[in-house]
A and B are shown apart, each in its own frame.
Chain A
Amino acid sequence: MIITILMTLSSILSIYAGAVNLRTQKLGWKCCITLFIWLTAAYLTVGSLGQISIVICLAGVQIILYLFTKNLLTCTFAFLGYLVMVALNYLCTSMLGLFHIDMELISTTYAPHFSTFFWILTYVVTFLLGILTRKLLSKYPVSLSRKTSILLYLDVLACSLIFITNVVFGERLGYPKAVLIVNAVLFLTFIAITSFVLIITIRSIQREEAAKATISQLQEFQLYTDKIYQTMRSFKHNYVNILSALDGYIEQNDMQALKTYFDENIVANFNNISPDLTLLGSLGNMKIREIKGLLSTKIVKAMGKNIQFYIEISEPIESISMKPIDITQVLGIFIDNAIEETERTEEKLLHIAFINMNDFLRIQISNSCLAESYDMDKLQKDGFSTKGENHGLGLSSANSILSHYNDIVHSTRCQNHIFTQTLDIYTKQ
């Protein structure tokens, strides 16, 4: 009796370990308990159907995980956890085979010992792998598009199905020793190859996307320079006109008319006559290509909405101790939010400054906003937004990127109708 319970528990726990230990995010106790109850229930009801029951178990696990997390990556890793478990199983049995230990004996007399040992082994291995994955993911966060994550999921799903089929047939055939060894080797190489191919594919996709972004940024920047060129031309045109008018008055020595002309046409329209070239000169100091590209895209976007966009980069910025993909994502979100907010104000002001403060680089984004000041309690909560759901999502994903950096101080302020985001990025030693 005890032996049966022990064996049942071991089987359930090893599947549970595979599903949970490779998690990429916090699952919460409710999710874990639901999983455990499901596995127990599934094992007790359909467990007698042999390895087919595994399919039912896994399907349930996937559904539960998806319902609780809404994250395909977590589901994918749960599958991988299962694959690791199967691989371990093969490894163990083939080891036993290599040492000429009788499988009959293992599956009868020593079954409890084996399953307990196997459970602990699975638990330890998946636990360590889980720590490793989470470390790697927090160090190199992957942001997969919906399409890629579905593809990745399907790949792992197909892989698992082949595995399960193999196991089911293996069971029917009674596990001959040679087949086991070949299987173990085949599956391990298979896992290694697919993981490798997947990583390469994801990387190349990301690179391709980055290249595409650069091209579109270049195109937008082209638009911007064209516009600047036109402003310059009209400025030159105006300038020549004004000068010739002045010349006319001087020639006639008509001081009174000259004064009137100066007051009415030059003083009154001063800001209209002189073009605003603050942007372009300052942008030249940004030596990081990705950020320069991002800024020029945003300039074009802001220009289309009649926003006065000022960029201050007083000294050349050669490097930032943050990964380009992270900093551009965070800045992109901040600037988009600022544009969205300032668009609704009368002043339509948007300032961005990159300031070298010796110990750290300060990036400050400040914009005019409608509210005099925000409710700090609400503002602080992740995802809060004055503009509805999507907006808030951007902020919370910016926050989650920033939370991986412990040498950045991020502050948010709102005072006198000015909203300011400040990032103090400390330089790495």
Chain B
Amino acid sequence: MLKTYICDDNNSHRTHFEKQIENYNFINGTDFHVVMSTANPHEVVEQIKKVPEIALYFIDIDLQTDIDGLELARQIREYDSWGFIIFITTHDEVMPLTFKNKVSALDFIEKESALLGEPVIADCLATVWKKMGQFTPGINETLTLKVQDKHFSIKLSDIYRIESTGEHRKVTVIEQNGYLHISALLKEVYDSLTEDFVYTGRNCIINKNHVVSYDSKNRLLHFDNNTTCSVSTRTARSFRL
């Protein structure tokens, strides 16, 4: 079962959503349980304060009250950091990047398409149900680096390798589908890492968990995202995997 909240100031929209969810449950055998359908965002916050658990939220952006949908989402995130937030918007209001970054919104439903009968609600429900199945809270250890006395965190399991760039005291953190530049000293970074991480040379640290094979002839490590990394002669001995 997944608790589902709907917050929209328009009565007929809410009914439409409730009906769509009910239909979806009936057809697909899922269990989205609408526990609250309201026009008042504060009611939602009051409710989840009592029992914080992972839930699904459909939130209208323009709630015609003292707070808007984005602020409601922000308050929800204080109690439910892994829940699924889906915004109901009109085309002109959509700010997908902003909402995704600020409150990790999962998706957006455009009122126009929802009311014009496109299967957008069903699509969202399908995605959420699939994600529910895969969800494992697990340990999320992070590497926390300081920038201007503030913190910047990177999930350890996301890191493939870390290299120093040689200039301006910056390091490059390489992840599965991207990389980032951040100012830090490699040695200091190494000290705050777990033992899954090892040096492969003076300027490079790798995450052993992502290594698939070691080519000892060319001293090359192969990672699971098809990248490679060379190993210095000095450290090569420890890589007879």
Contacts and interface: CB of A to CB of B under 8 A. Distances in A.
Interface of A: 267, 270-271, 274, 276-278, 281-282, 312, 314, 351-353, 355, 357, 359-360, 362, 364, 366, 373, 375-377, 379-380, 399, 402-404, 406-407, 409-415, 420, 422, 424, 426-429
A429 B169 CA distance: 20
Nearest to B145: A409
B1 interface: no
Interface stretch (B91-99, B122-130, B133-141, B233-241): B91-99
12 contacts: A359-B150, A376-B179, A399-B181, A403-B167, A403-B168, A412-B179, A413-B177, A415-B177, A420-B178, A424-B147, A426-B147, A428-B148
B170 A403 contact: yes
A309 B118 CA distance: 24
Contact of A409 (B94, B116, B182, B226): B182
Contacts of B151: 359
Interface in B73-109: 91-92, 94-98, 101-102
B8 to A, nearest CB: 20
A379 B179 contact: yes
Interface string B167-193: 111101011111111110000000000
Contacts of A414: 177-178
B97 A413 contact: no
Given A360-B150, A375-B227, A402 B181 contact: yes
B116 A270 contact: yes
Nearest to B151: A359
Contact of B94 (A278, A281, A379): A278
Contact of B98 (A267, A353, A399, A406): A353
A115 B231 CA distance: 49
The listed residue with most A CB atoms (<10 A of its CB), out of B91, B97, B151, B226, is: B97
B177 A312 contact: no
A252 to B, nearest CB: 25
Given A277-B92, A278-B91, A403-B170, 4 more contacts: A355-B97, A376-B177, A402-B181, A411-B178
Interface of B: 70, 91-92, 94-98, 101-102, 112, 116, 147-152, 160, 165, 167-170, 172, 174-183, 225-228
Contact of B183 (A364, A406, A429): A406
Given A353-B95, A406-B169, A426-B148, A377 B227 contact: yes
A351 B147 contact: no
Contacts of A380: 172, 174, 179
B148 A274 contact: no
A376 B174 contact: yes
Contact of A407 (B101, B112, B148, B179): B148
A377 B160 CA distance: 11
A282 B97 CA distance: 13
Contacts of B176: 376
A365 to B, nearest CB: 9
A163 to B, nearest CB: 35
Given A355-B102, A404-B168, A414-B178, A376 B152 contact: no
A380 to B, nearest CB: 5
B143 to A, nearest CB: 13
Contact of B101 (A276, A355, A409): A355
A379 B70 CA distance: 35
A409 B172 contact: no
A14 to B, nearest CB: 29
A41 B149 CA distance: 54
B82 to A, nearest CB: 19
Nearest to B161: A376
B183 A407 contact: yes
Nearest to A354: B98
Contacts of A282: 95
Contacts of A428: 148
Nearest to A410: B181
A412 B183 contact: no
Contacts of B225: 376
A353 B177 contact: no
Given A375-B226, A376-B227, A314 B174 contact: no
A353 B181 CA distance: 20
A267 B98 CA distance: 29
A357 B150 contact: no
A355 B97 CA distance: 8
Contacts of A410: 180-182
Q: Which 10 A-B pairs have the closest CB atoms?
A: A413-B178, A411-B180, A353-B97, A406-B183, A312-B95, A426-B148, A359-B150, A415-B177, A407-B148, A410-B181
Contact of B97 (A312, A377, A424, A426): A312
A412 B182 CA distance: 12
B116 A429 contact: no
A12 B179 CA distance: 47
